[in-house]
Amino acid sequence: MDRFDKVDYLAKLIRIELTDQERDLFSKQLADILEYVNQLSEVDIEGVEPMYHAVALTNRFREDKVGPSMDQEKVLKNAPKKKDGFFVVPKVIEG
């Protein structure tokens, strides 16, 4: 397996064409990334608690309270198209 095989495989998966210069650059970068990951696997993490974020975070959301809603007629008043109390929008997903 030559050093470009992984880059060619990834390029095929993401459906991009690479120049020879890009193939060379990306193969070097990929090798550097894989080397770094190998270095990380050598770090002793015995007794280290998993963390989800580098700094402590607290929830800044407000309490979820039920409140008055806008009147449906008022909301739909300026809608270009409406039907049965809902907005009518163009279909965006073929099915």
User: What is the pTM for the complete model shown?
Assistant: 0.46
pLDDT in tens, 41-65: 899 999 988 888 888 888 888 888 9
pLDDT in tens, 6-17: 899 999 999 999
Residue ranges and CATH numbers for the domains of the chain are 5-41 (1.10.20)
* DSSP collapsed to 3 states, the chain: CCCCHHHHHHHHHCCCCCCHHHHHHHHHHHHHHHHHHHHHHCCCCCCCCCCCCCCCCCCCCCCCCCCCCCCHHHHHCCCCCEECCEECCCCCCCC
pLDDT in tens, 15-25: 999 999 999 99
Tokens 């060619």 belong to residue = 8
Biggest CA–CA distance in the chain, Å, is 66
Predicted pLDDT at 56: 82
